[in-house]
Structure 1
Amino acid sequence: MVIGATGQIGRAVVGALARDGWDVTAASRGGGQDETWPEDVRSARLDREDDAALGSVIGDGCDVVVDIVAYGAGHAGQLTGLAGRVGSAVVISSVSVYEDGKGRGFDTQSQPDGFPEYPVPIPEGQRTVRPGDDTYSTRKVALERELLSLGDQLPATLLRAGAVHGPHCRSPRELYFVKRNLDGRRRRILPFGGTSRFHPAGVHNLAELVRLAAERPGSRVLNACDPEAPTVAEIGAAVDAVMGVESENVLVDGPPPAPTVGDTPWSVPHPVICDMTAAERELGYRPVVRYAESLPETVAWIEGRLAGRDWREAYPEMFRAYGDLFDYAAEDAWLKK
């Protein structure tokens, strides 16, 4: 059973498991289907917050529960309550759980000198923020710890996903480059010399990790990312290649030079790169697609969503998270200086 089946990650996971021979129930709030799924995938409506409904949909004798949308102690409690009724669980977590040696993490990045400086690459043994109910990161840690505490009672693989990309994303970082290309903007301002690296995680590679973990139940945490972490300049060039355009990068040493100028969703002062050797060793993980190879479907999806719409209407969550990413007047004013 896949919980959150019609979301960005869930669509790919359901397809990968079904094509691998699993008998899959795709559970979501709307109970919908995806046209790419095999015909024998069953759909089920499920309100994730309804404990009784969750237990009823899962029933007895479920081999694997894949939870795409779980976070926090409450969702962990729902899953731990299934111990003895299901064989194992595979649950999506996040690299945002990590904390650096100075106690900085994703929750402190808006503070002066608050962006974490992680080891390169980040191993799963890197310390994490404290569990709690305050933020997405602390709730993910609470989820992880409660599930791992069960051990063999409910073997759970926690997959710490990087910057998720692919079609159906509600906040696609690639939008920053795609929209500029559609708008004919051939100069873009990149802070930190265009060298920022934030490890991406493609939905097809995440689905492969879920598939492998389902075959090899265990109690563990694993990083879940692509085989490479391209720089923001390389990402922009890859998007250009897909769209058949050429752009000029205006590189800035240090942070964005002005408000709403050059602050891309990929631009970070220190690299966030995860060590994938544990997944390779424990699951036999080999990525099924590289970042640049996956871009055509991502770009096509973004273009389709933008067609005839204001980007803030097409991607309201993106606007809430990042503010005005396309303040061309401010960019032009800075470029004239």
Structure 2
Amino acid sequence: MLGASGQVGRAAVRALAADGWEVTAASRGGGGDDGWPDGVRTVRLDRNEEGALAAGIGDGCDVLVDIVAYDRGHARQLTGLADRIGSAVVVSSGAVYEDDRGRSFDTQDEPDGFPAYPVPIPEEWPTVAPGDGTYGTRKVALERELLAAGGALPTTLLRAGAIHGPYCPGPRELWFVKRALDGRPVRVLAYGGRSRFHPAHVDNLAELVRLAAARPGSRVLNGADPQAPTVAEIGAAIDAVLGVESERVLIEGPPEGPGGLVGLTPWTAEHPIVYDMAAAERELGYRPVVSYADSLPETVEWLAGRAQGREWREAFPNLAKYGVDWFDYAAEDAWFAARG
């Protein structure tokens, strides 16, 4: 498995090992996880080093699970070793879709640029064009290259939703958790708190990996939780885990205040993003192993422990990379003062 030490990789290694697979967990750091059984072999592997992946695969493997494949080049790494790989399971992204006006995650920051997808989005829905310019176009290029090589290397591509769970470097849940820990009594939510950005827990993605590994094929499947809660429902569920009761203030429209920060959360979206899971159920017999609400206690405990005594940008760099101050309390206070 490539990317085994990340949030999805850790869970996928556990699921595969429990299913009886002999797992080699590869990552750039070569680390392991306390939750893995003793039989898991860990190796240090940087796929960007010439010949490293070929050396890691050695004489071959039944299944290669690639959590961190990103673009056309990574796809060609895998297809170039197709004679030594029985089948593959590769994580893609739900960010590949575009709406019927050509809008996608790539246009979301433009005026009237947020996509309006069908609810739910089926795998057959159009995607952005493949390319090298953005995250979404690179993931599509990855997908196209692997699907074209399906005869030589059967590959299941999993289009993951908003990934959550322990070890997440960019945890959206921190928006609510930190406010509770900081004693902020109010949660301001744009679009009436109705935003939905379909979450995908690491254990549910790991279950999809496990099932796909046992049923090789050339296919694309969405990967998400059984529910797509609204941001208001997420906030209420996190408050319940933490034992706090916050006041909710709803903005019937986009975020407001300086820089449009007030009411903005990592889930905030003008239109719902919900992924259709019927194909995974039909083709793999997929059944989710955990609901969003039931997964929260473990996630919240991990978040609170990691955030304690640390600046949030340092603790969660992938949440900081958006260039947004998710915890600009001064902007919130000024907005409340202006409203009287």
TM-score tier (shorter): over 0.9
Tell me the TM-score normalised to structure 1 length.
0.98
Q: What code does the residue aligned with 1:41 have?
A: V
SS in 2 for 1:84: helix
1:267 aligns to 2:272 (yes or no): no
Q: Which residue of 1 aligns with 2:334?
A: 333
Superposition deviation, residue 60 in structure 1 = 2.0
Q: Residues 5-46 of structure 1, C-alpha deviation per residue, up to 9 Å, x if partnerless?
A: 000100000011001100000000011110000000000110
Paired residues for 1:9-158 under 5 Å: 9-158=8-157
Q: Is the 8 A contact 1:265 1:322 kept in 2?
A: no
Gaps spanning 5+ residues in structure 2: where?
Answer: none
1:288 corresponds in structure 2 to 289
Deviations 1:175-233, CA, capped at 9 Å, x for gaps: 00000000011111000000000000000000000000000000000000000100000
* 1:240 is the counterpart of 2:242: no
Q: Whole-Å Cα distance in 2 between the matches of residues 188 and 271 of structure 1?
A: 20
SS in 2 for 1:177: helix
Distance of aligned partners of 1:277 and 1:165 in 2 relative to their CA distance in 1, 3 Å threshold = same
CA distance in 1, matches of 2:202, 2:9: 9
Matching residue of 1:166: 165
For 1:292 and 1:306, how far apart are their aligned partners in 2? 21
Q: CA RMSD in A?
A: 0.8
Alignment match, 1:190 = 189
The equivalent of 1:302 in structure 2 is 303
> Match of 1:333, as an amino acid?
A
Does the aligned pair in 2 maintain the 1:60–1:86 contact within 8 Å? Answer: no
What is the alpha-carbon distance in structure 1 between the residues aligned to residue 181 and residue 95 of structure 2?
Answer: 32
Return the letter of the residue paired with 1:102: R
Aligned match of 1:219: 218
Secondary structure (helix, strand or coil) at the match of 1:221 reads strand
Q: Provide TM-score, normalisation by structure 2.
A: 0.98
- What is the CA-CA distance between 1:57 and the residue it aligns to? 0.7
Conserved? CA contact 1:178–1:303, under 8 Å = yes
Runs ≥4 residues deviating over 4 A? none
Deviation at 1:51, TM superposition (A): 4.2
Q: Counterparts of 1:214 and 1:221 in 2: how far apart (Å)?
A: 14
